[in-house]
Amino acid sequence: MAQNETTKLILYVAGETPKSLAAIANLERICKEDLDNRYEVQVIDLKKEPRLAREHSIVAIPTLVRQLPAPIRKIIGDLSDAEKVLVSLNVKGAQ
């Protein structure tokens, strides 16, 4: 990933469940501590927009999708393991 490239992340959640709230908080922490303000985050509540689950091939929640830079990468879970999230989304070099 280029050093000045913005990472676009989309987090799919289902309402305000404990796992959804944990994923949001963990993603905020990861972005703040590891992505040096080079990120854009969108949170999509699939309870409010259920059609997006099928359209975007979301099979479990919470799911974090790295939309940009290509290729698209996904990770499922509450994002509590920051190292795993960074490695899985291939943004470890963003520090």
CA distance 84 to 71: 18
The DSSP secondary structure of 44-95, one letter per residue, reads EETTT-THHHHHTT--SSSEEEEEESSSPEEEES----HHHHHHHTT-GGG-
Domain ranges in the chain are 7-94
pLDDT of residue 92: 59
Q: What confidence tier does 36 reach under pLDDT thresholds 50, 70, 90?
A: confident
- What pLDDT, in 10s, does the model give residues 40-91? 999 999 999 999 999 999 999 999 999 998 899 999 999 999 999 999 988 7
CATH topology (fold) of 7-94? Glutaredoxin (3.40.30)
